[in-house]
A and B are shown apart, each in its own frame.
Chain A
Amino acid sequence: MLHAVLPYVMCVVLFAIGLYAIAVKKNLIKVIIGAIIIDNAVNLFLVIVGYRTPLSGHSIAPIVTPEMAESRRELADLLSNAVDPLPQALVLTSIVIGLSVSALMVVMALRLHQKYGTFDLTQITKLKG
């Protein structure tokens, strides 16, 4: 029973680590790394959601081979026993979004270093009130 819950626990631990990094750390780069860890934790959660415990032992990848495409019965079997492919598509999209956000964050951190001369968050406080 524990081995079914363990991947989810790992997701939560990763998410907590990322959240800790964003909330507590003062270096801009560590905040960015925290945000990237959060993205990865959520992607991991989505992939695990799609897992289906198979009857036979090891899990089946949802790939349709040409021989299998001939009979509907085999297709139906594959669809219900293989790992769910929909969360994998969601994760692909989410990875792209995470990549763009990370790239934007890194470029902005570089520009901030250019303007303020430091990566320290406690000194980047021109906006107040």
Chain B
Amino acid sequence: MRGMTIIVKTIAALLIGFIMLFGFYIILTGHLSPGGGFSGGVICAAGLLLVILAFGADVVKERMGHNLAVLWESLGAIGFLGVAALGFITGAFFARFIPVQRGFQLFTAGSIPYLNLAVGLKVGAGLFGAFLMLAAFRESERATEGNSEGD
């Protein structure tokens, strides 16, 4: 899939940093305000979708590749299971092993921020991989049909 004009490319390149930052903010403060792993992950994935649309699927496949998505997704899932398994330290699966303190700060909610982070990684990478597959699918279908019209 070909990319878009130079204006869109420049703006997308400028914005992606802020979008990812905002996504990580929503992921990390999931225990303090509405948000959490899933919503933040979707925001990150939407930012990456903007990059796919602006630059074209083949460019993104070259630079970031589907393997990256699979790797981060698996790491996210294994991280989640790892944090849950670490609960065995305090006696049971999924038990809280970092104590909860009063305070409404970033690290006072036990293991929830880490779980949010793992879920956010997984969702972001998973949705990015799904979008990449769809974009690449369109590409291969167009190639087999021999359709040479513009986008």
Contact = CB atoms under 8 A, between A and B. Distances in A.
Contact of B104 (A69, A92, A96, A110): A69
Contacts of B36: 92
Contacts of A106: 134
A103 B102 CA distance: 41
Interface majority SS (helix, strand, loop, mixed), chain A: helix
A107 B104 contact: no
A129 interface: no
A96 B130 contact: no
Interface in B84-142: 102, 104, 123, 130, 133-134, 137, 141
B38 A107 contact: no
Contact of A96 (B38, B133, B137): B38
Contacts of B123: 96
Contacts of A66: 104
Interface majority SS (helix, strand, loop, mixed), chain B: helix
Interface of A: 63, 66, 69, 92, 96, 103, 106-107, 110, 114
18 contacts: A63-B33, A63-B34, A66-B104, A69-B102, A69-B104, A92-B36, A92-B38, A96-B38, A96-B123, A103-B130, A106-B134, A107-B133, A107-B134, A107-B137, A110-B134, A110-B137, A110-B141, A114-B141
B26 to A, nearest CB: 13
Given A63-B33, A96-B38, A107-B134, 7 more contacts: A63-B34, A92-B38, A103-B130, A106-B134, A107-B137, A110-B134, A110-B137
A54 B102 CA distance: 28
A96 B123 CA distance: 10
B121 to A, nearest CB: 15
Nearest to B141: A114
Nearest to A113: B141
Contacts of B104: 66, 69
> What 9 A-B pairs come out closest when comparing CB atoms?
A66-B104, A103-B130, A96-B38, A110-B137, A114-B141, A92-B38, A69-B102, A107-B134, A69-B104
A92 B116 CA distance: 14
Contacts of B102: 69
